[in-house]
């Protein structure tokens, strides 16, 4: 089972998003907040750039030896009394969760935030089996009430405004006083805290994701700010962790290196509020904690990315910095990408996981400005990998006829440099002359998609090649 | 073929390895055994008064509150004062690790054991503190229930001055001394300030699901 995919309709999704006033208002929070906070916290740590190198190297080392680290990690989990379940596909992962839930007769399952859970559409699988999943991260709870996918990997409800959340709470929390005041965000938070507190205390099974798996100790790690992941995993009798294979890192020291760049890149905090290291079930004498500890470790196409041009993508630690800094994401929001992973990381990962035939538009949704790569804490060359996908899409004849003939037209000139210089000089001169008065065009033949949203600037000076030649002084 | 064998098989095929290479095994085993430190930020290498000052400043930046007392025996009195200042009822759930302190000398009503969600205030013994980010480390066990760190609205953590380290790496070294190399308690909680959420319009609000307030009592030893 996989979450419903609308990535093939990326263009329609994006057009709709651009005309959505509520969404555009909400997205302004992303543009303003995340970027400044990250920049400020990075500037406070002189070693930040060097730590990014260190984090990259650790993930590279772990991926090069992934088979061995997974084996070592599994041994340690088992030694601590936990159980490991291997899942090749989304269906196998959902099946493993359902088997455990059915064995213990679970009716309600609380969930910490997990992108893997979204990837495998676990909630739908649980509901089909008659088990009620309750998302407990505030953002995930809100989008569960609305039947939506997350629009951001760490801020799932970033596409919404407080008034929309208020109307959802009024629609669903019908046991509360209809006259209550919910005009302030803090009142919404307090209401969700109260409603979910009861769910935490009565759930039969708690499911969390994992930011990391540690081979040295057989530990899974979650990083949250709310504390919902912890209440999810310490109160019910059963704790199930769902994680993908590339989450494994060697040691506690290695995870500490990566933690130093994770929160700073994600929310601009020096450290998230709760970083929790879990190893096996409750020990003899422990006054609390789960009696069973399971880890479902999912492949779902990742093992085949190793050794390819996309191996570097497996370094991703899901901080969201790439989308926070992406002008395309800012403009269209996360839902336009049509599946669970939006923004630049989604544009690279989604074609690997659901196929370039479905997600081929996503790597085209980039201006190649390079901001994503410049902020990635593990230095993933996202633009380069989007270019790889574009090449594959072209090679497999998946791109539309207009794009192909456009590229062929450009290619004709590009292969004839003298003709190219002549044509660009002529076209530029014409544009500069027609646009000489206003310095920009409100509309332009063949550029309607551009001028519909903003003016097209009239060219100034010489062509790029002419300027380059002048600048280099004929060297 | 089992899912496990197939996944490991695909990984090996993709990487162009067999899984039996001696040098790969020894590289992995050496790394796990040596656990190299990597890069520790300069600020994690402080000592003495500067270290404690950094811990205090960083804890304050996370919106935790902090006070110092002279000796563990003064903790019950400090907790009683803290509750009085906050206009809170004189009741607290305490970790067993603190049960031997002179609570009887205060008017506080204290109970031990795990929380069932009805406690407003809990006091737990922390394993350590990390100055570089003002982070508390709490370790699960008979003396220190994990529920105390998450269910109450007000969480108070007690740690000795000597248990504050500059960096995470020194904390791990202390943990290995206590539990052994490669062995972890069921849960290690790093707590950096009170619970919060920014999920509604990116506005940070305190008290999402965990404690709305975190108070740190540093015992000068």
pLDDT tens, position by position, A382-432: 999 999 999 988 888 777 788 888 888 889 999 999 999 999 889 888 888
**Structural domain spans, chain B:** 1-34, 43-220
- CA–CA gap between residue A309 and residue A385 (Å, rounded): 7
State residue B81's pLDDT score. 98
Minimal C-alpha gap between B192 and chain A (Å):
4
- Condensed to tens digits (0 to 9), the pLDDT of residues A130-178 reads 999 999 999 999 999 999 999 999 999 999 999 999 999 999 999 999 9
Please indicate if any CB of chain A lies within 8 Å of the CB of B41: yes
Please indicate if any CB of chain B lies within 8 Å of the CB of A67: yes
- Mean pLDDT over B108-137 rounds to 97
State residue A474's pLDDT score. 58
Q: What average pLDDT does chain A have?
A: 94
State residue A404's pLDDT score. 84
In sequence order, which residues have a C-beta less than 8 Å from that of residue B171 and are 6 or more positions away? B127, B128, B130, B137, B165
Angle at A194 between CA A189 and CA A198, to 5 degrees: 140
Number of domains making up chain A: 2
Please indicate if any CB of chain B lies within 8 Å of the CB of A132: no
- CA B221 vs. chain centroid, Å, equals 20
Q: What is the CATH number of the domain that holds A86?
A: 3.40.50.10420
- CA A107 vs. chain centroid, Å, equals 30
For residues A140 and A20, membership in a common domain is answered with yes
Cβ-defined contact of A47 to B41 (cutoff 8 Å):
yes
pLDDT > 70? residue B142: yes
Nearest CA in chain A to B115: A288
Minimal C-alpha gap between A104 and chain B (Å):
22
- Condensed to tens digits (0 to 9), the pLDDT of residues A360-373 reads 999 999 999 999 99
Residue A419: give the domain boundaries.
401-472
Please indicate if any CB of chain A lies within 8 Å of the CB of B195: yes
Residue A328 lies in a domain: no
A264 contacts on B by Cβ (under 8 Å): none
Q: How many CA atoms lie within 13 A of A372 on its CB side?
A: 32
A219 contacts on B by Cβ (under 8 Å): 184
- From A287, A303, A319, the end of a domain falls on A303
- Mean pLDDT over B195-221 rounds to 94
- Mean pLDDT over B53-75 rounds to 98
Please indicate if any CB of chain B lies within 8 Å of the CB of A3: no
DSSP B17: -
SS (H, E, C) chain A: CCCCCCHHHHHHHHHHHHCCHHHHHHHHHHHHHHHHHHHHHHHCCCCHHHHHHHHHHHHHHHHHCHHHHHHHHHHHHHHCCCEEEEECCHHHHHHHHHHHHHHCCCCEEEECCCHHHHHCCHHHHHHHCCCEEEECCHHHHHHHHHCCCCCCCCCCCCCCCHHHHHHHHHHHCCCCCCCCCCCCHHHHHHHHHHHHHHHHHHCCEEEECCCEEECCCCEEEEEECCCHHHHHHHCCCEEEEEEEHHHEECCHHHHHHHHHHHHHHHCCCCCCCEEEEECCCCCCCCCCCCCEEEEEEECCCCHHHCCCCCHHHHHCCCCCHHHHCCHHHHHHCCHHHCCCCCHHHHHHHHHHHHCHHHHCCHHHCCCCCCHHHHHCCCCCCHHHHHHHHHHHHHHCCCCCHHHHHHHHHHHHHHCCHHHHHHHHHHHHHHHHHHCCCCCEECCCCCCHHHHCCCCEECCCCCCHHHHHHHHHCCC
8 A C-beta contact, residue A219 and residue B184: yes
| Percentage of chain B exceeding pLDDT 70 | 100
Residue A327 lies in a domain: no
Q: Compute how many other C-beta atoms are within 10 angstroms of the C-beta atom of residue B53.
A: 12
- Closest partner residue to B201 (CB to CB) among A185, A287, A288 is A185
Minimal C-alpha gap between B152 and chain A (Å):
11
Task: Give which of A104, A145, A136 is closest to A117, Cα–Cα.
Answer: A136
In sequence order, which residues have a C-beta less than 8 Å from that of residue A188 and are 6 or more positions away? A162, A165, A166, A169, A182, B200
8 A C-beta contact, residue A207 and residue A122: yes
State residue A438's pLDDT score. 83
Residue A459 lies in a domain: yes
- CA–CA gap between residue B160 and residue B217 (Å, rounded): 8
Q: Which fold has domain B43-220?
A: Rossmann fold (3.40.50)
Please indicate if any CB of chain A lies within 8 Å of the CB of B104: no
8 A C-beta contact, residue A287 and residue B145: yes
| Percentage of chain A exceeding pLDDT 70 | 99
pLDDT > 50? residue B109: yes
Residue A317 lies in a domain: no
State residue A3's pLDDT score. 63
8 A C-beta contact, residue B130 and residue B168: yes
State residue B164's pLDDT score. 98
Minimal C-alpha gap between A285 and chain B (Å):
5
- Condensed to tens digits (0 to 9), the pLDDT of residues A220-267 reads 999 999 999 999 999 999 999 999 999 999 999 999 999 999 999 999
- From A303, A328, A346, the end of a domain falls on A303
* Chain A stretch 290-309, residues whose beta carbon is closer than 8 A to a beta carbon of chain B: 297, 299, 303-308
- Mean pLDDT over A443-470 rounds to 84
State residue A440's pLDDT score. 86
- Mean pLDDT over B20-41 rounds to 97
- Mean pLDDT over B135-150 rounds to 98
pLDDT-based confidence at residue A465 (cuts at 50, 70, 90): confident
- CA–CA gap between residue A350 and residue A359 (Å, rounded): 6
pLDDT > 90? residue B210: yes
For residues A227 and A110, membership in a common domain is answered with yes
Give the sign of the dihedral formed by CA A346, CA A347, CA A353, CA A355.
positive
Minimal C-alpha gap between A472 and chain B (Å):
41
Please indicate if any CB of chain B lies within 8 Å of the CB of A17: no
pLDDT-based confidence at residue A447 (cuts at 50, 70, 90): confident
Q: What average pLDDT does chain B have?
A: 97
- From A254, A279, A303, the end of a domain falls on A303
For residues A277 and A167, membership in a common domain is answered with yes
Residue A372 lies in a domain: no
Q: How many CA atoms lie within 13 A of A257 on its CB side?
A: 23
pLDDT > 70? residue A1: no
- Condensed to tens digits (0 to 9), the pLDDT of residues A17-65 reads 999 999 999 998 888 889 999 999 999 999 999 999 999 999 999 999 9
């Amino acid at each position: 089972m996989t979450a419903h995919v609308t990535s093939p309709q990326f263009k329609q999704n994006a057009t709709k998003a651009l005309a959505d006033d509520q969404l555009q208002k909400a997205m302004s929070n992303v543009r303003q907040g995340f970027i400044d906070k990250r920049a400020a916290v990075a500037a406070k740590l002189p070693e930040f750039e060097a730590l990014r190198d260190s984090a990259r190297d650790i993930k590279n080392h772990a991926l090069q030896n992934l088979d061995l680290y997974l084996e070592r990690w599994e041994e340690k989990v088992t030694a601590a009394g936990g159980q490991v379940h291997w899942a090749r596909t989304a269906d196998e992962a959902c099946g493993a969760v359902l088997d455990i839930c059915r064995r213990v007769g679970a009716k309600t399952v609380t969930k910490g935030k997990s992108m893997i859970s979204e990837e495998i559409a676990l909630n739908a699988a649980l509901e089909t089996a008659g088990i009620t999943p309750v998302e407990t991260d505030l953002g995930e709870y809100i989008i569960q009430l609305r039947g939506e996918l997350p629009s951001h990997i760490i801020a799932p409800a970033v596409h919404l405004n407080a008034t929309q959340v208020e109307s959802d709470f009024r629609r669903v929390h019908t046991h509360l006083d209809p006259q209550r005041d919910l005009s302030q965000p803090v009142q919404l938070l307090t209401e969700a805290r109260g409603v979910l507190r009861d769910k935490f205390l009565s759930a039969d099974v708690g499911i969390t994701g994992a930011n990391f798996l540690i081979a040295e100790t057989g530990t899974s790690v979650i990083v949250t700010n709310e504390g919902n992941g912890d209440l999810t995993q310490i109160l019910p009798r059963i704790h199930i962790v769902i994680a993908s294979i590339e989450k494994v890192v060697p040691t506690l020291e290695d995870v500490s290196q990566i933690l130093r760049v994770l929160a700073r890149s994600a929310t601009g905090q020096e450290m998230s509020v709760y970083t929790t290291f879990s190893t096996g079930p409750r020990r003899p004498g422990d006054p609390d904690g789960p009696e069973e500890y399971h880890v479902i470790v999912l492949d779902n196409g990742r093992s085949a990315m190793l050794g390819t041009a996309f191996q570097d993508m497996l370094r991703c630690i899901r901080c969201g910095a790439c989308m926070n800094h992406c002008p395309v994401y800012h403009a269209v929001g996360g839902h336009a990408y049509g599946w669970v992973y939006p923004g630049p990381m989604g544009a690279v990962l989604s074609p690997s996981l659901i196929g370039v035939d479905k997600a081929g538009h996503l790597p085209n949704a980039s201006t190649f400005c390079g901001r994503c790569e410049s902020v990635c804490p593990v230095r993933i060359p996202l633009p380069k990998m989007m270019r790889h996908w574009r090449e594959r899409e072209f090679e497999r004849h998946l791109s539309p006829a207009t794009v192909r003939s456009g590229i062929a037209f450009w290619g004709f000139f590009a292969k004839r440099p003298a003709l190219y210089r002549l044509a660009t000089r002529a076209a530029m001169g014409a544009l500069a002359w027609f646009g000489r008065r206003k310095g920009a065009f409100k509309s332009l033949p063949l550029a309607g998609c551009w001028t519909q949203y903003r003016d097209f600037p009239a060219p100034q000076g010489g062509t790029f090649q002419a300027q380059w030649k002048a600048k280099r002084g004929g060297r | 073929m089992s899912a496990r064998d197939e996944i490991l098989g695909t990984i090996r095929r993709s990487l162009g390895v067999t899984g039996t290479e001696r040098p790969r095994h020894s590289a992995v085993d050496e790394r796990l055994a040596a656990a190299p430190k990597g890069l520790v930020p300069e600020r994690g290498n402080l000592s003495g008064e500067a270290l404690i000052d950094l811990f205090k400043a960083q804890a304050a930046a996370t919106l935790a509150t902090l006070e110092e007392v002279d000796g563990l025996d003064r903790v019950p009195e400090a907790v009683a004062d803290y509750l009085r200042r906050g206009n809170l009822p004189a009741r607290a759930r305490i970790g067993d690790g603190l049960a031997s302190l002179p609570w009887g000398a205060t008017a506080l009503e204290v109970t031990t054991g795990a929380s069932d969600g009805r406690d407003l205030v809990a006091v737990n013994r922390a394993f350590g503190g990390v100055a570089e980010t003002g982070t508390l480390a709490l370790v699960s066990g008979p003396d220190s229930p994990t529920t105390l760190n998450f269910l109450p609205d007000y969480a108070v953590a007690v740690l000795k001055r000597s248990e504050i380290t500059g960096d995470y790496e020194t904390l791990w070294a202390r943990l290995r001394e206590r539990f052994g190399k490669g062995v972890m308690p069921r849960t290690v909680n790093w707590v950096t300030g009170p619970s919060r959420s920014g999920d509604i319009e990116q506005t940070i609000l305190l008290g999402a699901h965990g404690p709305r307030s975190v108070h740190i009592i540093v015992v000068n030893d």
